Amino acid sequence: MGIQMILNAKAEYGVPVKIYTKDVDEESLTQLRKMSQLQFIHSHIAVMPDVHLGKGATVGSVIPTKNAIIPAAVGVDIGCGMNALRLSLKASQLPDNLSALRNAIERKVPVGFEMHKQIKSKASTLSPLDKKLQVITDKHPALRRMLRSFDSTWQKQLGTLGGGNHFIELCLDENQDVWVMLHSGSRGLGNVIGTYFIERAKKEAQSRFGHVPDKDLSYFAEGSANFDDYVEAVEWAQEYAFENRREMMRLILEAIRPLLPRFQMTKEAINCHHNYVQQEIHFGENVFVTRKGAIRAGLDEYGIIPGSMGAQSFIVKGKGNPNSFCSCSHGAGRKMSRTKAKHMFNQQDLIQQTQGIECRKDKAVVDEIPSAYKDIHEVMANQDDLIEVVHTLKQVLCIKG
C-alpha cells in the first residue's frame, strides 16, 4: 500500500517522516516529530506499519543519520532479532502431544533471568568475543561493575532466551514443513552496554551540544572518543546477539533430535537483527542507519516477520524499496502496553486465544496475549511494496521467557 502518512518538518533542520500506516497513536507521532527536528537526519525518517511508542525512539522507525548516532534509538536490547530454520520434517512426523518437545527445549535453553550453569559455547566462539570485549572494558572499566560476575555471566548467557517478548517456536508452513524460529538479543551485557552509553550521550549532549528535542535523543558526534567507543561496543553487542541466536538454535536442535524422526536442516536459514545500527549508502550518502524495531529488506534479502503467539508469521524477501531505506517491519507491533493488557485480559482469554498451541497459558504471560498486538495481516498488507511473502508460518509450540 505504500506510504500512507507524511509528517512534514516545521523546524529549521527538520525532515519529513514517512509512515507506512494510518494506525499510529498521537504519542508516537509526537515522538517522531521530535526526532525529525535533529539536524543530522538524512533525507527523512521511515516508519514501518508495526509502529508504536518506544523508549528513546519510536519502535518501527528507520533513522538515517550523518556523522552522529543516537544510542537510545538503538536501545538496550542491542542486536535483538530473529533466527529461523526449516527442517526436513513434515507436520505428520510430529507427535500428537508436543509437551515433551517443549519440556526438552526448556531444559536445554534457559529462559527469563536464568542462564546456563556452565559455559556451553565453544572456545572458537568465545575467544574472539572475549578479546574484543577486553579492549572495550579496558577503556570503560565501569561496564564491569554494572554486571554481576561479569565474565562468567556473559559467557553463561550465550545460548539463552531472556524474557519479555522473546520466544522459541516450532511452526508449520504452507507446505506443512516444520520450522524452528526464535527471537532474542544480546542479553544482560547488551543491556549494560546500551544503558551505559545512553547515559554518556545525555551527559555529552548537555555539555557540548546544548538543546536537543528530548534527552533520549542525545547523540554522539562522529569524531569524538565516545562515538568511536560506542560504535565498537555496539558492534560487539550485535555480534554477541547473532551468536546467541545461533547457539540457541544449536541447543534446540540437540534437544529435539531424540524425540523426532531423523531430520536434516535445509538451506533456508535466516539470522537477522531488528534493533541495530550499521553504515549503509542511501540517496548517494554514506549514513548510519538505525533500525529500531525494523529489519533490513534489501533486494532479494530474506527476513522474518513474526506475529503474536497466536498469529501467523512470515518469511519474506525484500524489494529494496529506497523510501524505506530498504527496510520493513519487525513484527506485528504492540497496540497496547503490557500494563493495559494485564488489566484488559485474563488467563481464560489467553487460553482461548492460544488454542491448539503448546505453550504457557498462565497469568504471568497474559501481557503477551495476541490481542495486545496489531493485526499481523493488516501490517503485512501495509508493506506489500517493501517485501514479498515467501513462506507463511503458524506456530504449534511456543516458549516464552
Chain segment 83-141, per-residue pLDDT in tens: 999 999 999 999 999 999 999 999 999 999 999 999 999 999 999 999 999 999 999 99
Is 165 annotated in a binding site? The answer is yes
Query: Quick one: which of 386, 234, 378, 390 has its CA closest to 325?
Result: 386
pLDDT level of residue 66 (50, 70, 90 thresholds): very high
Cα dist. 172→68, 185, 225, 391, 400 in Å?
Answer: 42, 24, 48, 10, 18
**Contact at 8 Å (CB) between 212 and 219?**
yes
Is 95 annotated in a binding site? The answer is no
The mean pLDDT of 177-206, rounded to a whole number, is 94
Is 49 annotated in a binding site? The answer is no
212-254: pLDDT as tens digits: 778 889 999 998 889 999 999 999 999 999 999 999 999 999 9
Q: In sequence order, what are the residues at sequence separation of 6 or more whose Cβ sits closer than 8 angstroms to the Cβ of residue 297?
A: 303, 316, 318, 319, 320, 321, 324, 326, 327, 328, 386, 387
Is 42 annotated in a binding site? The answer is no
330 is catalytic: yes
Q: Can you name the CATH fold of 5-335+373-400? A: tRNA-splicing ligase RtcB (3.90.1860)
Is 274 annotated in a binding site? The answer is yes
Catalytic residue among 330, 343, 377, 391: 330
Is 175 annotated in a binding site? The answer is no
With DSSP H G I counted as helix, E B as strand and the rest as coil, what are the percentages for the chain, rounded to 5?
Answer: 35, 25, 35
Is 167 annotated in a binding site? The answer is yes
pLDDT level of residue 204 (50, 70, 90 thresholds): confident
Quote the pLDDT of residue 11. Answer: 59
Cα distance between residue 306 and residue 122, in whole Å: 30
pLDDT level of residue 12 (50, 70, 90 thresholds): low
314-363: pLDDT as tens digits: 999 999 999 999 999 999 998 888 899 999 999 999 999 999 999 999 88
User: At residue 395, does pLDDT exceed 70?
Assistant: yes
Is 201 annotated in a binding site? The answer is no
Cα distance between residue 146 and residue 141, in whole Å: 9
Burial (CB count within 10 angstroms: exposed 0-12, middle 13-18, buried 19+), residue 347: middle
Burial (CB count within 10 angstroms: exposed 0-12, middle 13-18, buried 19+), residue 350: buried
Is 271 annotated in a binding site? The answer is no
Is 282 annotated in a binding site? The answer is no
Handedness of CA 360, 361, 366, 371 (dihedral sign): positive
Query: Quick one: which of 62, 61, 76 has its CA closest to 28?
Result: 61
The mean pLDDT of 274-288, rounded to a whole number, is 97
Domain residue ranges of the chain, discontinuous segments joined by +: 5-335+373-400
CB atoms within 10 A of CB 156: 21
- For the chain, the average pLDDT equals 94
Quote the pLDDT of residue 207. Answer: 65
Quote the pLDDT of residue 211. Answer: 64
Is 313 annotated in a binding site? The answer is yes
